[in-house]
Amino acid sequence: AKCKAELQKELGLPVREDVPLIGFIGRLDYQKGIDLIKMAIPELMREDVQFVMLGSGDPIFEGWMRSTESSYKDKFRGWVGFSVPVSHRITAGCDILLMPSRFEPCGLNQLYAMQYGTVPVVHGTGGLRVRQLP
């Protein structure tokens, strides 16, 4: 709860223990399933949730992250770029970590998430499938 509150403060989001904080960390490209997240965001933002993304890649998705943040000021934050310390703060502070990768030979973020007590929600592929319970 403390990591979540600190992350919400850092992001400038309302500090709310009762709202699920969902995260994504990864390259903004087809392999990582960023298009699936983009399709889901309008419906997801109708729910009482907060969402944070950290990543870089396809300039179209980078621009989408920025515009989504301005559309959902109290619910969505998107950081273009990558930072190991920031990625760990996101992983530790989120309730759920999304990993909708289409293929993932190994995948480490779901292991980090489990270590922090964050629930990894993964696509059943490669190393993600092998390391998760059905």
Q: What token pair was written down for 109?
A: 């973020």
What residues does 4 pair with on adjacent strands? none
The pLDDT value recorded for residue 130 is: 47
Q: What CA–CA distance (Å, rounded) separates 77 from 2? A: 19
pLDDT per position as a tens digit, 59-83: 999 999 999 999 999 999 999 999 9
Domains and CATH numbers, the chain: 24-130 (3.40.50.2000)
| CB atoms closer than 10 angstroms to residue 127 | 17
- Count of Cβ atoms closer than 10 Å to residue 13 Cβ: 19
Q: How far apart are CA 130 and CA 46, in angstroms?
A: 33
Each residue of 79-112: pLDDT tens digit? 999 999 999 999 999 999 998 888 777 677 777 7
